[in-house]
């Protein structure tokens, strides 16, 4: 079995005055080559008192070198932004 570590850097910018809180201590995950894995709340969770999960937007600033990050409803297209609501809903 070949394992590949999916490393992606994201930026999260607060929309209002209060800063967000990253609940996940050290977001990271490993994906087996030719397999897929959903990012869950245990992998990446941010909370913000001023914004809903739909308003917490992650931007992929350093996409993976091998493979892609995509939303479940369009797995053939790379996603460069996603929300906490996407994660919460398993998208």
Q: Give the tens place of pLDDT for each residue, 19-49.
A: 778 888 877 778 888 888 889 999 999 998 8
Q: Band of the pLDDT at 65, cuts 50, 70, 90?
A: confident
Rounded to 5°, angle at Cα 36 from 64 and 7: 25
Structure-token match 């570590």, residue found: 5
Q: Give me the pLDDT at residue 6, please.
A: 46
Q: Band of the pLDDT at 13, cuts 50, 70, 90?
A: low
CA 85 from chain center: how many Å?
Answer: 10
Structure-token match 């005055």, residue found: 17
Structure token digits, residue 79: 């996603």
Q: What would you report as the CA-atom Rg of the chain, rounded to the nearest whole angstrom?
A: 13
- Three-state DSSP class for residue 30: strand
- Three-state DSSP class for residue 12: strand
Residue 10 has pLDDT above 60, yes or no: no
Q: What is the 3-state secondary structure (H, E, C) of 39-64?
A: CCCCCCCEECCCCCHHHCEEEEEECC
Residue 74 has pLDDT above 70, yes or no: yes
Q: Give me the pLDDT at residue 36, please.
A: 85
* Mean pLDDT computed over every residue of the chain: 79
Q: How far apart are CA 22 and CA 91, in angstroms?
A: 20
């Amino acid at each position: 079995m070949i394992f590949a570590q999916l490393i992606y850097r994201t930026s999260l910018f607060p929309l209002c005055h209060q800063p967000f809180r990253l609940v996940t201590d050290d977001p990271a995950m490993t994906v087996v080559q030719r397999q897929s894995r959903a990012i869950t709340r245990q992998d990446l969770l941010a909370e913000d008192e001023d914004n809903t999960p739909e308003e917490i937007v992650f931007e992929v600033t350093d996409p993976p070198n091998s493979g892609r990050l995509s939303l479940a409803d369009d797995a053939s297209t790379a996603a460069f932004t996603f929300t906490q609501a996407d994660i919460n809903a398993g998208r």
